Each structure stands twice: as C-alpha cells, then as structure tokens.
A and B are shown apart, each in its own frame.
With several copies, the nearest count.
Chain A
Amino acid sequence: MINVLLFAHLRETVGEEKLVIEAEKMSVSDVKAWLEARYQLELSTVMSAVNEEFAMDHTIVQSGDVIAFIPPISGG
C-alpha cells in the first residue's frame, strides 16, 4: 500500500491529510491520475516528494513508500 500526504489547499480540497492506495507499485503520474479521478484536483503542475525527497512524474512509488504532494511553497 502507498501512503499519500496532502498539504495546504490540497489537504483542504480532499478533506484528508493522508490517504492510502492499495497498490504495490505506481508512478508519481499514476498517483496523480488516481487522485484527479476521485477529487476536484489539478495536479499536473504540483511537485511531489517520495520518502521526503523531491521526485519526478516518472519516479516509481513502491508499497510502503510515502508520496507527498507539495503545492507552491510559501514559508520563511
């Protein structure tokens, strides 16, 4: 299973800060498509991180991994 973390407006839109996808292996693109199919989200331009490192759309996420979606940041 794949753990999905959501922050800021993504968290508010989905209404959850964490989701679980029952899958062994997906690309980041696959996860984006999975979310877009279920929620009112546009993720094509949103950054992602796999296990706390920035990732690419073609990065592979394995069962047990944590994928986080990172909207444009505004800290500091």
Chain B
Amino acid sequence: MTARFEISSEPLVVDDVTQKVVSRNAGAITVFIGTVRELTKGKKTVSLEYEAYPAMAIKMFEQIEREMHEKWPEAQLAITHRVGKLDITDIAVVIAVSSPHRKIAYEANEFAIDRIKQIVPIWKKEHWEDGTEWIGDQLENVPYRAGAPKEELDD
C-alpha cells in the first residue's frame, strides 16, 4: 500500500488519496480539497508556489493522525500536499477521512486541516500581477513553545 502521507510535486488526483481510507467498516468518507482561488482579500492571485520541508511535514502528518486517533479511534486518515507552482483551481491539498459514521468523518477532517495549518512546515508564495510574497502570519512574534503555533485565520 502506498504511504498515507505524501508531499508531491505532481498534480494531485483526489481519488488516489480517497482510496487509501476505503474500508469495509467505513460508512462515510469525507474529502477536503484545498484549491487555489483567484481572489484573497480582494487581491488577484496569478499563481502560487508551495515549498515544504518534506521529512518533517510527513512526521507532522503522522502526529496529526495520532492526535486524531486519540479523539476518534475508528477514523482513518490520508493526506497529500502538493509542492511547486500551482495555477488557479489547482489542488494544493487533499485530506481523506473514513469512519463508520459520518459525524466523525466531518469533525476529524476539519481537525486535520486546522492542524495542518498550525504545525506542518509548508509555505505558500503568492504571485500577484505586481509582485510576490511568502505568506505566513506576518504578525507572529512568539516562537513555538509547548503548544501549537497560532492558527492562521485567513481561510
């Protein structure tokens, strides 16, 4: 079986990620597909670039899985995050969660994307018509201590 957590420089295929969580005991699979949108806070994105620290990103995906299993032992998780240059509507991340019951599949999936935005070392560079910028919490001024970094609230 393919690894359930991946960083990929190739276009993502949603079904490849979903297949990893299919189970005879799953009545529900939720999939989150993060896509590149054109407008953020009124500014027009031309393209995006994602960079990752792959070895650590995979470890953080595994940590998210452990945290998820503490809350929802029956849920199964698979995540692939894209790196490289992406155009509008391209897929940046796919998260698939299966569970016997649907409520947990929604909750665990949303938990996973929230935690990805907190602890997984991946960076996005916006390319606008008039320039570029590495996105992050520009106001962040407290280094990571015991807990998680502050959550990004921009999407």
Q: Do chains A and B touch in the complex (CB under 8 A)?
A: yes
The docked-state distance in angstroms from the alpha carbon of A74 to that of B138 is: 11
Of the listed residues A7, A8, A52, A76, the one surrounded by the most CB atoms of chain B closer than 10 A to its CB is A76
Q: Is the CB of B121 within 8 A of A68?
A: yes
Q: Which residue of B lies closest to A28 (CB)?
A: B143
- Asked if A57 is at the interface of the complex by the 8 Å CB criterion, the answer is yes
Interface size on A, residues (CB 8 A): 25
Known: A45-B142, A53-B56, A72-B136. 20 other contacts (CB 8 A): A7-B53, A8-B125, A8-B134, A12-B134, A45-B141, A45-B143, A46-B143, A47-B143, A53-B59, A73-B118, A73-B120, A73-B149, A74-B117, A75-B50, A75-B117, A75-B121, A75-B124, A76-B34, A76-B81, A76-B120
| Residues in B whose Cβ lies below 8 Å from that of A75 | 50, 52, 57, 81, 92-93, 116-117, 120-124
| Residues in A whose Cβ lies below 8 Å from that of B136 | 8, 71-74
Q: A residues near B, CB below 8 A?
A: 5, 7-9, 11-12, 44-49, 52-54, 56-57, 68, 70-76
The docked-state distance in angstroms from the alpha carbon of A7 to that of B122 is: 9
The docked-state distance in angstroms from the alpha carbon of A44 to that of B119 is: 19
The docked-state distance in angstroms from the alpha carbon of A76 to that of B102 is: 10
The docked-state distance in angstroms from the alpha carbon of A8 to that of B118 is: 16
Q: Is the CB of A8 within 8 A of B51?
A: yes
| Residues in A whose Cβ lies below 8 Å from that of B93 | 75-76
The docked-state distance in angstroms from the alpha carbon of A45 to that of B117 is: 18
- Asked if B137 is at the interface of the complex by the 8 Å CB criterion, the answer is yes
Q: Is the CB of A56 within 8 A of B145?
A: yes
- Asked if B113 is at the interface of the complex by the 8 Å CB criterion, the answer is yes
The verdict on A71 contacting B134 (CB below 8 Å), with A45-B140, A76-B93, A76-B113 known, is yes
| Residues in B whose Cβ lies below 8 Å from that of A57 | 143
| Residues in A whose Cβ lies below 8 Å from that of B55 | 52
Q: Is the CB of B143 within 8 A of A73?
A: no
Q: Is the CB of A74 within 8 A of B123?
A: yes
Tell me which of A5, A44, A45 contacts B53 (CB under 8 A): A5
